[in-house]
Amino acid sequence: MVVLLSNWSDVQSVPERYIFPSDVRPGNLDFPTYTDIPVIDLGNPDKNETIQQILKACQDSGIFQVINHGVSEDLMDETMNVLEEFFNLPGEYKERFYSQDITKPCRIFSSTLAYETEEFHYWRDNFTHRCHPLEDNIHSWPENPTKYRSVVSKYSVETRMLLLRILNMISQGLGIEPGYFEGELSKTHLFSVNHHIPCPDPSLTLGMPVHADPNLITLLHQGHVPGLQLLKDGRWTEVAPLRNAFIILPGLTLKVVSNDRFNTAIHRVVTNSKQTRTTIGVFLGPSQEISIEPAGALVDSGEAPVYRGFTYPELFNVFKVNHCDALRCFKTDSN
Ligand code: OGA
Ligand code: NI
């Protein structure tokens, strides 16, 4: 059965299956703003200072924003516009991509990959496709809107370069060899768009489950409609959209490579009653085969590895049932 919220029109009330139990739903919508997410200026000529700021953010909050990152405002806006146009296309066109099979290079689904079996549905559609190498994947992308492939390919290439630049600063800061993250650890490159139509009662629903990102690193363009929330001292707080900034989330894979120096922010998404919300995530993650493990440069010096080696499919299997603490079962005995 194909369900896409973006095909619904004139929704007057929240269907029962989207109403979360009272201990999970947002309830009172008066959330404080999370004010201390570091905003890091990548245009700062003092590169060492930037590296230290990135390291500190990865260690402390497990989330930061970047400005003056080199991706133009026009490209960010154009990409957002082309995606909004895509979600407004007739249902039959989008349904051609409908699939919950993660081996499909380009797919759209609603709520989560477990739509058929889950007890409650999340208020979102998600459109995800692979991006790298571009020439192997672009043919699976939509041909409509007609600008889709040219705009999204430019965006994918530029955001990938930006993420690799950030990863390179991280490897310098950690004292691991340059280029460590290029290759197998960042081989999977996904472009993942969340789309939430206005919800008649956001106090009852969620746009995404509470989770930590399992991949290596995420770059998120939140657009202009709030919804992303972080757990801070046991309270949900809102990440206010910052124009032209990208949100960067070090993922669980990076936490392992850092031998537990880094944090991965736990987050969720709430819905909005007035505006449609579209966000663009760019995920870099490991190949299926490589062993995810603490970097040699960190543990060869005598530091005990906090995690044993494991593959991404092993991690993803645990993540599917434990969205926040999937790493627990990969800890070494002493940890
Ligand atoms: C994600 C995510 C947040 C958002 O896709 O992993 O957390 O605001 N997205 O869409
Ligand atoms: Ni996430």
How close is the Cα of 281 to the center of ligand 1, in Å? Answer: 7
Is 124 inside a domain boundary? Answer: yes
Q: Judge whether 36 lies within some domain.
A: no
What is the 70 CA–ligand 2 centroid distance (Å)?
23
| pLDDT value of residue 333 | 79
Burial of residue 227, with CB atoms counted within 10 A of its CB: 0-12 exposed, 13-18 middle, 19 or more buried = buried
Q: Span 120-139, mean pLDDT?
A: 98
- Cβ–ligand 1 distance for 126 under 6 Å, the answer no
Confidence band (pLDDT; 50, 70, 90) for 81? very high
Short-list 194, 200, 5, 196, CA closest to 91: 5
In sequence order, the 6+-apart residues with CB closer than 8 A to the CB of 154 are: 75
Q: Which domain holds residue 84?
A: 47-98+107-330
312: exposed, middle or buried (Cβ count in 10 Å: 0-12, 13-18, 19+): buried
Split at pLDDT 50, 70, 90, the class of 232 is confident
**Cβ of residue 222 lying under 6 Å from some atom of ligand 1:** yes
Instruction: Tally Cβ neighbours within 10 Å of residue 23.
Output: 6
Mean pLDDT, residues 310-326 taken together: 96
Please report, for the domain that includes residue 227, its CATH number.
2.60.120.330
Give the residue, by CA position, lying nearest to ligand 1 atom 3: 228
Is residue 150, in this structure, part of any structural domain at all?
yes
Q: What domain count does the chain have?
A: 1
pLDDT digits (tens, 9 = 90+) for 276-304: 999 999 999 999 999 999 999 999 988 99
- Burial category of 136 from C-beta neighbours within 10 Å (exposed 0-12, middle 13-18, buried 19 and up): exposed
Which residue's C-alpha comes closest to atom 9 of ligand 1? Answer: 281
Within a domain: residue 1? no
Ligand 1 pocket check for 65: Cβ under 6 Å: no
Tens-digit pLDDT profile for residues 42-52: 999 999 999 99
Ligand at minimal distance from the CA of 281 is: 1
Please identify, by atom number, the ligand 1 atom nearest to the C-alpha of residue 267: 7
- Within 8 A by CB and 6+ apart from 142, the residues are 86, 93, 97, 106, 148, 149
Strand, coil or helix: what is 298? helix
For ligand 1, the distance from its centroid to the CA atom of residue 199, given in whole angstroms, is 17
**CB 194 near ligand 1, within 6 Å:** yes
Say if 72 falls within a structural domain: yes
Q: Is the pLDDT of residue 335 over 80?
A: no
pLDDT of residue 327: 98
Q: pLDDT tens digit string along 236-251? A: 999 999 999 999 999 9
pTM of the predicted model over 0.85: yes
Structural contact between residues 259 and 297, judged by C-beta atoms closer than 8 angstroms: no
pLDDT at 222 over 90: yes
Residue 328 DSSP one-character state: G
140 located within any domain: yes
Q: Identify which of 220, 238, 266 to mutate to test ligand 1's pocket (most ligand atoms within 8 A of the CB).
A: 220
- CA 211–ligand 2 middle distance (angstroms): 6
Domain for residue 52, yes or no?
Answer: yes
pLDDT at 55 (0 to 100): 98
CA of 269 to the centre of ligand 1 (A): 7
Residue 323, ligand 1, Cβ within 6 A: no
pLDDT at 271: 97
CB of residue 208 inside a 6 A radius of ligand 1: yes
